[in-house]
Amino acid sequence: MMSKYKRIGVMADLNSIVALNAYKEIMKKYDFIDAMSVSPQECDLVITIGGDGMMLKALHRYMDHSTPIYGMNRGSVGFLMNDYVFEDLLDHIDKAVETRLYPLEMRAETLEGEIHAALAVNEVSLLRETNQAAKIRIFVNDEVRLDCLVADGVLIATPAGSSAYNFAAYGPIIPLDANILALTPICPFRPRRWRGALLSHKSRVRLEVLEADKRPVSAVADSTEVRNVRSVEITERKDKVLKILFDKQNMFEERVMKEQFSSE
């Protein structure tokens, strides 16, 4: 069977025996490309085999090319992945539904005045570097919304990242098409009852570290870390289009619904 995608690349978590075996099985049956052996622009679509971490790696690699990504779960959680399929794989890909996401841009200023920019598919987080709690002032659209958060840190999560670190920090899981960001504190101490906020995806968030020299804080955009930051600005990048393909019977929205009503 022919697919509407002419050049299909495959990348897998080579540290997982299960994912590696699935990769070998797929490559033996189909006329696919080893995605990591060619430049990103040479693939019309990319299949990832592994868990959500593998999907995240693929989204970063193909971010500048808007290449559709079809993930197959051979990891643990796989919240952004489809079930593993061997037979009729091309048919599954052609019938899959595309969901579009947009990353966050982090611009972090250090105590030395250096500016570091990075993009995040999941979240931008600020984390204390020492045993002392961080003190952070929160601005949304240039207005102070929280004068002083005392906590281990705080994060801004996209809908795609809302089921990851954000969820572990007791933030909400957000449907991919909701156009909402989650602002979630990490182990908050003051204010005691503040559990975070939901923001429009158009919001401009600025996080200002108070007593930054005494209470050092690092900023992390997915896996890119900047240490000893003074302030961080976060905005959505609408010019960077991320495309994830989901099987119709396994849509992300349904998984979000099930997770919210789970009794486990």
Instruction: Mark the binding-site residues for NAD(+), compressed into ranges.
Output: 52-53, 57, 122-123, 152, 160
Instruction: Output the CA torsion sign for 45, 49, 52, 54.
Output: negative
Residue 58, amino acid: A
Q: Give pairs for 62-66: CB < 8 Å, separation 24+.
A: 63/103, 63/119, 63/121, 63/240, 63/242, 64/40, 64/240, 65/40, 65/41, 66/241, 66/242, 66/243
Integer angstrom CA distances of residue 92 from 70, 168, 205, 249: 10, 32, 39, 10
* Residues tagged in the binding site annotation: 52-53, 57, 122-123, 152, 160
Residue 130 CB neighbours (<10 A) = 10
Look at residue 158 and give its three-state secondary structure: coil
Name the DSSP letter for residue 58.
Answer: H
* Residue 8 bridge partners (DSSP): 45
Which residues, other chains included, contact 63 with Cβ-Cβ below 8 Å and sequence gap of 6+?
103, 119, 121, 240, 242
> Is 142 assigned a catalytic role?
no
Distance CA 133, CA 187 (A): 10
Distance CA 208, CA 67 (A): 35
Which residue out of 34, 44, 52, 147 is catalytically annotated?
Answer: 52
Phi, psi (5° rounding) for residue 181? -115, 150
Give catalytic residues, as residue numbers: 52
